[in-house]
Protein backbone atom coordinates (compact mmCIF):
# COMPACT_ATOMS: atom_id res chain seq x y z
CA UNK A 1 0.00 0.00 0.00
CA UNK A 2 1.21 3.52 -0.71
CA UNK A 3 0.30 6.88 0.75
CA UNK A 4 0.85 10.21 -0.98
CA UNK A 5 2.59 12.98 1.01
CA UNK A 6 1.92 16.62 0.13
CA UNK A 7 2.78 19.95 1.71
CA UNK A 8 2.65 23.64 0.93
CA UNK A 9 6.24 23.91 2.29
CA UNK A 10 7.50 22.59 -1.06
CA UNK A 11 6.43 23.45 -4.60
CA UNK A 12 3.46 21.65 -6.02
CA UNK A 13 4.23 19.05 -8.68
CA UNK A 14 4.74 20.47 -12.18
CA UNK A 15 3.82 17.15 -13.79
CA UNK A 16 2.10 13.84 -13.08
CA UNK A 17 4.00 12.94 -9.91
CA UNK A 18 3.69 13.34 -6.14
CA UNK A 19 5.94 15.33 -3.81
CA UNK A 20 6.44 12.18 -1.79
CA UNK A 21 5.16 8.62 -1.51
CA UNK A 22 5.23 6.40 1.58
CA UNK A 23 5.62 2.75 0.64
CA UNK A 24 7.30 -0.32 2.10
CA UNK A 25 8.67 1.46 5.17
CA UNK A 26 10.23 4.26 3.13
CA UNK A 27 9.41 7.78 2.00
CA UNK A 28 10.39 8.40 -1.62
CA UNK A 29 10.70 12.09 -2.51
CA UNK A 30 10.47 13.29 -6.06
CA UNK A 31 13.44 15.26 -7.28
CA UNK A 32 13.38 18.85 -6.13
CA UNK A 33 14.58 21.81 -8.14
CA UNK A 34 14.80 25.30 -6.68
CA UNK A 35 11.18 26.35 -7.04
CA UNK A 36 9.69 28.73 -4.50
CA UNK A 37 6.71 26.95 -2.90
CA UNK A 38 4.47 30.04 -2.93
CA UNK A 39 5.05 31.08 -6.54
CA UNK A 40 6.34 28.02 -8.36
CA UNK A 41 9.10 30.19 -9.82
CA UNK A 42 12.73 29.10 -10.08
CA UNK A 43 15.02 30.84 -7.59
CA UNK A 44 17.58 33.02 -9.33
CA UNK A 45 21.06 33.81 -8.14
CA UNK A 46 23.06 30.72 -9.00
CA UNK A 47 23.89 27.27 -7.73
CA UNK A 48 24.27 28.16 -4.04
CA UNK A 49 20.84 29.77 -3.76
CA UNK A 50 19.28 26.95 -5.78
CA UNK A 51 20.79 24.34 -3.47
CA UNK A 52 19.61 26.17 -0.32
CA UNK A 53 16.05 26.35 -1.70
CA UNK A 54 16.13 22.69 -2.69
CA UNK A 55 17.20 21.63 0.80
CA UNK A 56 14.36 23.72 2.29
CA UNK A 57 11.89 22.08 -0.11
CA UNK A 58 13.14 18.63 0.89
CA UNK A 59 12.87 19.58 4.58
CA UNK A 60 9.24 20.57 3.97
CA UNK A 61 8.27 17.24 2.42
CA UNK A 62 10.14 15.30 5.11
CA UNK A 63 8.35 17.32 7.82
CA UNK A 64 4.97 16.59 6.21
CA UNK A 65 5.74 12.91 6.80
CA UNK A 66 6.92 13.53 10.38
CA UNK A 67 10.60 13.14 9.44
CA UNK A 68 13.78 15.18 9.20
CA UNK A 69 17.15 14.76 7.48
CA UNK A 70 18.22 12.09 9.99
CA UNK A 71 15.79 9.71 8.27
CA UNK A 72 17.39 10.10 4.81
CA UNK A 73 19.19 6.91 3.74
CA UNK A 74 19.89 7.65 0.04
CA UNK A 75 20.10 10.72 -2.13
CA UNK A 76 20.89 11.52 -5.72
CA UNK A 77 22.19 14.90 -6.84
CA UNK A 78 21.90 15.94 -10.49
CA UNK A 79 24.12 18.81 -11.66
CA UNK A 80 24.30 20.46 -15.06
CA UNK A 81 27.97 21.23 -14.33
CA UNK A 82 30.17 19.05 -12.10
CA UNK A 83 32.34 22.09 -11.47
CA UNK A 84 29.58 23.07 -9.00
CA UNK A 85 30.12 19.89 -6.98
CA UNK A 86 32.15 21.48 -4.15
CA UNK A 87 29.69 24.32 -3.62
CA UNK A 88 26.64 22.04 -3.67
CA UNK A 89 28.40 19.50 -1.45
CA UNK A 90 29.13 22.13 1.21
CA UNK A 91 25.51 23.31 1.41
CA UNK A 92 24.10 19.77 1.22
CA UNK A 93 26.54 18.52 3.88
CA UNK A 94 25.25 20.99 6.50
CA UNK A 95 22.03 18.94 6.67
CA UNK A 96 23.94 15.72 7.42
CA UNK A 97 26.60 16.59 10.03
CA UNK A 98 26.78 13.17 11.74
CA UNK A 99 25.44 10.27 9.66
CA UNK A 100 25.19 11.21 5.98
CA UNK A 101 23.16 9.00 3.67
CA UNK A 102 24.47 7.00 0.74
CA UNK A 103 24.64 9.27 -2.29
CA UNK A 104 25.18 9.45 -6.01
CA UNK A 105 26.06 12.61 -7.92
CA UNK A 106 25.80 12.82 -11.68
CA UNK A 107 26.13 15.45 -14.37
CA UNK A 108 23.19 15.80 -16.72
CA UNK A 109 22.71 17.77 -19.92
CA UNK A 110 19.71 19.76 -18.64
CA UNK A 111 17.14 19.95 -15.86
CA UNK A 112 13.52 21.19 -15.82
CA UNK A 113 12.96 24.96 -16.00
CA UNK A 114 16.66 25.59 -16.64
CA UNK A 115 17.66 24.60 -13.09
CA UNK A 116 21.32 23.86 -12.33
CA UNK A 117 20.67 21.37 -9.50
CA UNK A 118 18.08 18.71 -8.67
CA UNK A 119 18.13 16.51 -5.57
CA UNK A 120 16.00 13.49 -4.70
CA UNK A 121 16.03 11.51 -1.46
CA UNK A 122 14.74 8.30 0.08
CA UNK A 123 14.02 8.28 3.82
CA UNK A 124 13.37 5.50 6.28
CA UNK A 125 9.98 5.89 7.97
CA UNK A 126 10.89 3.83 11.04
CA UNK A 127 13.44 6.43 12.17
CA UNK A 128 10.75 8.81 13.49
CA UNK A 129 7.36 7.60 12.35
CA UNK A 130 5.49 4.30 12.69
Contact 112, 42 (CB under 8 A): no
Domains in the chain, number: 1
Closest CA to 67 of 5, 3, 115: 5
Give the integer Cα–Cα distance in Å for 109 and 128.
37
Range of the domain at 43: 2-127
Q: Is the pTM of this model over 0.85?
A: yes
Q: What is the CATH number of the domain that holds 76?
A: 3.30.1330.40
Digits of tens for pLDDT over the chain (130 positions)?
899 999 999 999 988 999 999 999 999 999 999 999 999 999 999 999 999 999 999 999 999 999 999 999 999 999 999 999 999 999 999 999 999 999 999 999 999 999 999 999 999 998 544 4
Amino acid sequence: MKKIVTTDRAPQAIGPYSQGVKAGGFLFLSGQIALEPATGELVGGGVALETERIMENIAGVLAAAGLDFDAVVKSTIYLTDLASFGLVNGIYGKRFPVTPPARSTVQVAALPRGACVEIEVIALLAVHAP
